Every structure is written in C-alpha cells, then in structure tokens.
Amino acid sequence: MNATSGKKSVPADFFIEDKLGDYDALDDEGARVWLLDRPWNRVEGDTRRRVHSLADFVDEVLAEVESADLVAQMREQNSFLVRAYLPGTPDGGRAVRGTPMVHDQVLLSRGDRAALAAKLDADPDIAAPAGAHWQMFNGRDWAPLLRERKLTDSQLATRSRVATLAPHIGTTDTWGLLYFIPLGDGLNAFGTTKADRMTTIGDAIPLANAGSWCRCVDGHARTVRFERWHLLDGLLGSGTVHAAEHCRRLVTID
C-alpha cells in the first residue's frame, strides 16, 4: 500500500481515496478507484463508488476480480448481469453480494429493468434478502438496477427539442426515411420518419448500437454519449458508446 499525493504515479490496478478531487482525477483517467467514506467527502446525491473501511475496499476488489470472467462473457454474448446487494454499514457491517445472474439481453430502459426486478422478486429462490437491492453491471461498475433518474439540465433542454421535432417526424407520410438533425451544442438527432423514437448523439455519426457491448481491446477508448428518446413518453435510456466509427457499441449504460 502506498500513501502519496501523486496516486497515478503508483503502478496499481485499484485505488482508494478520501479526497473528492483526487478520486475524480483518478476516475477521469480510467482508474478503478473507491472513495473511503468520511464526513468531509459526503455530497448529497453522490454516485461515486464508496466504501466504509479498508476491509470493504478489499471485499470490493476481490468481488471485481472474481466476476471478471462473467463480465468478459457478458460482453461476448451481449447479455446483462444482475445481482442482489446488501450495503455495508458505518459500524463495520460488511456488504453482502449475491451471485451474479445472467439475463440474455441488454436492458437499456428503466421499464424493462423494473420488469426484470419484479420477476426476480416473485421467485422465492431468487428474491433479494431484506434490506438488499438489485444491482446491474453497467459496463464499468455495479450500479443500482432501479436508480431514480432525474433529468439533467442538458436532458431537459433535449426533451424540449425532441418535443418540438416530434410533430414533424412522427406524423410524416413518408415511412422509414432516415433523418439527421443538428440540435446545437454538438448534439444531433437521428432516426427514421414515422417511428415513435429517436436517438440523440454527441457527434456527427448517426449510429449507437445499444444492444451490443464494445469488445475493443483499448479500455480507454474515446466514448460519446447517446440518449434514446420516445417522441411522446420522453427519455427511454442512455449511456456511452465507443466513438470509433468501426464500433459504436456500448461502453456504459446509465
């Protein structure tokens, strides 16, 4: 173990940090880092990876190493991993992680995920124990399967633009005509006319394969955000895809 201000100068696969700035710097560089929970780094609504102790950190690292083969299989088969998770407690209670289960397709929308959670809860041999919740592997981390989604200011602005476009796209007499519409600020919308949904993308390539995982070798490949919108019901799902034109497959899902 090393204690140093220049954490990335230390060759390591996993890091633990108690300063938000250092955590964010490591995370931005693609490092696997956890935040040691302390009063000075607590932020309301924070989604950073947190642990309550060094023992919890070791548990997280071991769980990640043990599930590495399953994650590789998930990418190869374009499947979806879920598990039950009972968080650790500040008084020393250790987190409990259920055995990961494989679903046969990627679930981008919250509605599909809620249906899966209901199906799991209805099975007495699978249902999560009291106090636990379901997690999914989002392409990089284990995250809540049913996290409440609040639209960001950017997404609220996009929703307004989508609503403006909907009457012109959804009611056209021409079926299946491809369109690509600049929305401003580097954001573009694409889809087919008379369909009930569109995709927004953060670059000029009208492609985001939300049903397949990226399997490119470079783990630090440049990504681009996408959002899948229903013209009437709003945001269906979002995430990032590998920006390279030869790939455009999922890197993470929200």
Residue 37 lies in a domain: yes
pLDDT digits (tens, 9 = 90+) for 59-98: 888 877 877 889 999 999 999 999 998 887 777 677 788 8
Domains of the chain: total: 3
pLDDT confidence of 162, banded at 50, 70, 90? confident
Same domain, 59 and 25: yes
How far CA 40 is from CA of 35, 97, 169, 180, in Å, comes to: 11, 27, 49, 46
Q: Which of 72-81, 110-119, 147-156, 196-205 has the lowest mean pLDDT?
A: 147-156
Which of 45, 66, 87 is at the close of a domain? Answer: 66
Residue 73 lies in a domain: no
Does residue 138 sit in the same domain as residue 159?
no
The lowest-confidence range among 33-47, 184-198, 205-219 is: 184-198
Asked if 145 contacts 135 with a C-beta cutoff of 8 angstroms, the reply is yes
Whether 208 is covered by a domain: the verdict is yes
Residues 240 and 167 in one domain: yes
Residue 71 lies in a domain: no
Q: What's the rounded Cα separation, in Å, for the pair 153 and 135?
A: 26
Confidence of residue 28 (pLDDT cuts 50, 70, 90): confident
92-121 pLDDT, tens digit each: 677 788 889 999 999 999 999 999 999 999
* 56 touches 62 (CB < 8 A): no
The answer to whether residue 222 is domain-embedded is: yes
Question: How many Å apart are CA 73 and CA 180, to the nearest integer?
Answer: 34
Beta bridge partners of 127: none
What is the distance between the alpha carbons of residues 46 and 17, in angstroms, rounded to a whole number? 15
**What pTM value is reported for the model?**
0.77
Q: Is 229 helix (H, G, I), strand (E, B) or coil?
A: strand
**Is residue 174 located within the same domain as residue 209?**
yes
Based on the domain organization, do 61 and 128 belong to the same domain? no
- 165 & 184 share domain: yes
Distance CA 179, CA 164 (A): 15
- Cα 48 to Cα 35: distance, rounded to the nearest angstrom: 7
Q: Among the residues of 67-152, which ranges form H helices?
A: 68-77, 110-121
**Separation CA 249–CA 78 (nearest Å):** 10
What is the token pair recorded at 180? 């690509």
Of 130, 148, 166, the domain-final residue: 148
3-class DSSP state of 83 = strand
Contact 248, 241 (CB under 8 A): yes
72 within some domain: no
Name the pairing type of β-strands 178-184 and 187-192.
Answer: antiparallel
Answer whether 191's CB lies under 8 Å from 169's CB. yes
Residue 37 and residue 10 share a domain: yes
| Domain membership of residue 162 as a residue range | 153-253
